[in-house]
Each structure stands twice: as C-alpha cells, then as structure tokens.
C-alpha cells in the first residue's frame, strides 16, 4: 500500500534518467521541485510503494508509462480564465486582426481545451471566426481526447458565467448592443449527465494535436501563440529553448501570451520581444 513519501533529489534524478533511457522522454529541464511534487502525487494516486516499483512497471509496460506521463502533465484551466487578459486581447489584439485574411493561432499546452474554445467564442463574437485557424497542442494524450470532445461540467466551470459576463457583456462587441451570450449559443446540454458540450460549429474550427514542447521544432507560422502557465514548470534553460522556438514560429510583430505570473524578459531570447500592452503579452520585434 502506498504511503506519502518525501523523495530525495537522487530519487528524482533516477526517475528522469530512466524515463529518458527507456522512452527518450526528457524531463531533465523541468523545474525540479514541481516535478518532484508530481512524482510524489503519482506514487500515492497509483498506490505504488516507491520509485523502484514505478520504474519497474514503466520499464516493461509502455501503455502504463504513457498513463503516468498523462497524469504527471495535467494542468488546470478554465473558460475565459483571467477575464482582464481576455478583455485586453479583445480590444488591443483581436481588433488588429480585422485587416488579416487569415488568422493563425496556436494554443501550446492547451490542456482540456477551455482556452481554445474561449478564443473561438471571442472570435465568433467579433465576426472573425471564419478567417481563423486555431490549433491546440499538448503532451497529454488523454487530455487531448477530452479537448476534442469539448465536454465540460457546468458545476466545475461555474466561473465561466462570471468570466464571460465580464469579457463578452460588459462592453458589447456587436453593434453597441448587449449580445445574449448564454450557454445555449455555444453549448448543448445532455439532460441525463448534465454535462455541456461545445456545439459542432465551434468544435469544427479547432484542431487538436499531440506536441512535445521539450523536443518540438518550428512547424508553422502564427499571428499569436498562447502558452499560459506552462513554462513555469521548466527551468531557465528549457524556458529559453521553448520561447526561442515560439519566436521563430511567429510572424513579424506576432504575439506570445504567457501566464500573468510568468516572465520571459530575463531570458536571453527575451530581448527579441517587446512588452508594452499588458503583463504576460510579448510582441516579436
């Protein structure tokens, strides 16, 4: 039976080494304390006695290893998280997209898709949805399947009501009139489960794919890249590597949006961005 254990640095380095050796999956540049907490939680939630049992099981069972990776990499999110950020995006960023024939948007580390669908809703309210290509990527295959399904629990997502009220209703977007932004416009409810599913016209506008930021490379060009509350789990070396890849992936004057508590200005690549509009938003020079 698993008990709560305090892992040593030696334990964590061994886990990282074995994961890389067996599956070429590299956590070496993840923030060590955060990775340690996630491994400790994994041992308890999987009822494992310690790292030796974890490493023995993952070494011989790739499916189990993938499940562990999915559990380690779960990040929390919500619809219209940090509404002030979305208000600034609406007024200062998305309005500037009106003169573009195509708008390429990448949500890196998209988790279960709430921010992807928030973007799609906002674009639709601004009559920009038809010209948008919106991509969501994540390392977690289980969470990607959930994102594609677009199914959310109304209770879990109760903050959506307050967030959307502030972003979509406070200063009307459409013709100066208060739009009727309700769940019914974008979601369908299953009466049995009481779960809400994003309507098909919105789901069809989103593409979700597996992508590992640690070893990822430039694969397209984007007008804006969202990577909120992800790089906080990386050390400075990996942060610089990932942000450099984002820089190469952006069009000139493209925008990188990180979390409000994340700062890339101190990184070597930080000098290649301007930050003038709001906290967490960086413009490629």
Average pLDDT over residues 194-223: 92
R_g (Cα) of the chain, nearest Å: 20
Q: Is 63 exposed, middle or buried (0-12, 13-18, 19+ CB in 10 A)?
A: exposed
* Cα–Cα separations (whole angstroms), residue 233 to 70, 115, 189, 199, 244: 15, 19, 35, 33, 16
Average pLDDT over residues 90-102: 94
pLDDT at site 204? 96
pLDDT at site 191? 76
pLDDT at site 233? 87
Supply the pTM of this predicted model.
0.84
pLDDT at site 177? 46
pLDDT in tens, 111-137: 999 999 999 999 999 999 999 999 999
Sorted by where each begins, the domain ranges of the chain are 9-72, 83-284
Q: State which CATH number among 3.40.50.2300, 3.40.50.150, 2.30.30.90, 3.30.1330.10 fits the domain covering 83-284.
A: 3.40.50.150
Token digits for 103?
């708008």
Neighbouring CB atoms inside 10 A of 235's CB total 15
Token digits for 98?
């009106």
pLDDT at site 174? 44
């Amino acid at each position: 039976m698993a008990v709560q254990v305090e892992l040593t640095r030696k334990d964590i380095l061994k886990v990282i080494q074995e994961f890389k050796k067996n599956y070429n999956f590299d956590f070496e540049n993840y923030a060590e304390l955060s990775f340690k907490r996630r491994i400790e939680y994994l041992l308890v939630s999987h009822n494992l006695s310690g790292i030796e049992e974890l490493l023995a099981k993952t070494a011989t069972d790739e499916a189990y290893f993938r499940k562990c990776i999915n559990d380690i990499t779960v990040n929390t999110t919500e619809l219209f998280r940090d509404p002030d950020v979305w208000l600034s995006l609406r007024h200062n960023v998305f309005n500037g997209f009106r003169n573009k024939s195509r708008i390429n948007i990448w949500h890196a580390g998209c988790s279960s898709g709430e921010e992807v669908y928030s973007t799609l809703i906002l674009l639709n309210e601004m009559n920009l949805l038809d010209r948008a290509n919106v991509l969501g990527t994540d390392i977690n295959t289980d969470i990607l399947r959930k994102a594609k399904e677009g199914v959310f629990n109304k209770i879990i997502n109760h903050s959506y009501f307050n967030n959307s009220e502030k972003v979509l209703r406070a200063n009307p977007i459409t013709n100066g009139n208060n739009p009727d932004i309700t769940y019914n416009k974008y979601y369908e409810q299953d009466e049995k489960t009481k779960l809400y599913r994003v309507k098909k016209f919105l789901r069809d506008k989103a593409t979700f794919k597996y992508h590992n930021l640690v070893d990822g490379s430039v694969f397209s060009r984007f007008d804006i890249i969202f990577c909120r509350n992800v790089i906080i789990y990386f050390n400075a070396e990996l942060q610089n590597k990932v942000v450099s890849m984002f820089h190469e992936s952006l069009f000139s004057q493209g925008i990188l949006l990180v979390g409000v508590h994340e700062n890339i200005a101190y990184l070597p690549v930080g000098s290649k961005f301007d930050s003038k509009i709001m906290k967490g938003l960086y413009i490629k020079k």
